[in-house]
Amino acid sequence: MPQPNKAALDFLLTRRSRPARTLGLPAPDRAALEPILTAALRTPDHGKLEPWRLIVLEPAALHRLARLITERGLALRYDDIQIEKSRSAFAESPLAVAVIESPVKADKVPEIEQTYSAGAVCLACLNAALATGWGANWLTGWPAHDRDFGRLGLGLDDHERVAGFIHIGTETSVPPERPRPDPKTRIEWVST
């Protein structure tokens, strides 16, 4: 018989991201962040290719990236609201982890599977942060998809892209529960 981990299942059934704007100081220090990042890297990885890497963004880096978001947003002709929403996510964040998809050429592992693995790193990092008691949120937004932002701000190579930014800090308020998918409408059982 299986040996259930009730605490882990209860966590997964009740986990809730915290809005990035509600995250404040303190943020995890390097010692507190190490088990979170280690857990994030224990993700499904077909072929053991490790097609991802992590960049920890501390306050000075976040402020530099917030300035770059303003520059890039103006260059891309985004409106003030779009620029400010993305800029403030970085300027007001106590800490963020950029999960970078860095695909590896492999005959047996299609690139899409490597993309899924990078997404799994994002979720594992988010859940590990929440499980250790921090507030956390997984964001993307237009800066994650802007090649120049990735190259100039994060030093990404041409084959790399941002899978997500995991913002981590102390939650300052607990959001109300939001509607969740109805399993009856999202699950199909096939027995023949």
Name the binding residues for FMN.
15-17, 42, 46, 138-140
Q: Which long-range contacts (CB under 8 A, 24 or more apart) does 41-50 make?
A: 41/121, 41/124, 42/124, 43/117, 43/120, 43/121, 43/124, 44/116, 44/117, 44/120, 45/117, 46/109, 46/113, 46/114, 46/117, 47/106, 47/108, 47/109, 49/104, 49/106, 49/109, 49/114, 49/117, 50/104
Binding-site residue positions: 15-17, 42, 46, 138-140
